[in-house]
Amino acid sequence: MKCQHCDRQAVFHITELETGEVRELHLCEEHARTYLNQSEAAEAPPGKPGGMGTPLGVGQTAEELSVLDQKTCDMCGISFFEFRNQGRLGCPHDYVAFEKELEPLIANIHGAAEHVGRRPQRAAAIPMPADGTEGLTRVIGLRLEMKEAIAREDYEKAKESRDLIREIEETWLGPPTASPSPSEPTP
């Protein structure tokens, strides 16, 4: 599909709802940048340029983006740059690590930044860590600790981490089922 303003390929397809009517725009990168800059300028309060707490926009400076892209999650190691390219987070802890950057995005998509629905019953059985993250996020950290302990040959610490992981997983998934031994024939 071609851009509505020139003969280049349209790479941005924008649908807007204005006073009950649907308006579709098909724009090339250059015209989309111009259109989005006009939209951001109209929405931004005078004298307040977009900063690090605002959603990522076309008008953000390269310096702000490079600083933000270097930010990483302590648990899984994913950088914000990787998230922006893949569109996927690495672990549940990323919601805490990138909270300021994700909040406007989540609010825009869902209409609110806070969950208001019901929680699964199994989630109530897991004690919440002090930092407010879920129990499964803790498993990711424990697995990292266990790998580091094995690398240091601190097998006691690795055993403690393994046992905590099993305890949390049993709370979520129930006790492990017995698997047939290798010598038993399978039907």
- According to the 3-state scheme, what is the secondary structure of the chain? CECCCCCCECCEEEEEEECCEEEEEEECHHHHHHHHHHHHHHHCCCCCCCCCCCCCCCCCCHHHHHHHHHCECCCCCCEHHHHHHHCCCCCCCHHHHCHHHHHHHHHHHHCCCCCCCCCCHHHHCCCCCCCCCCHHHHHHHHHHHHHHHHHCCCHHHHHHHHHHHHHHHHHHHCCCCCCCCCCCCCC
pLDDT band at 155 (very low <50, low <70, confident <90, very high): very high
pLDDT in tens, 36-89: 777 655 554 444 444 434 444 545 566 777 777 888 888 788 888 888 888 888
pTM of the model: 0.39
pLDDT in tens, 91-141: 888 888 888 888 888 888 887 777 777 766 665 555 554 444 466 677 888
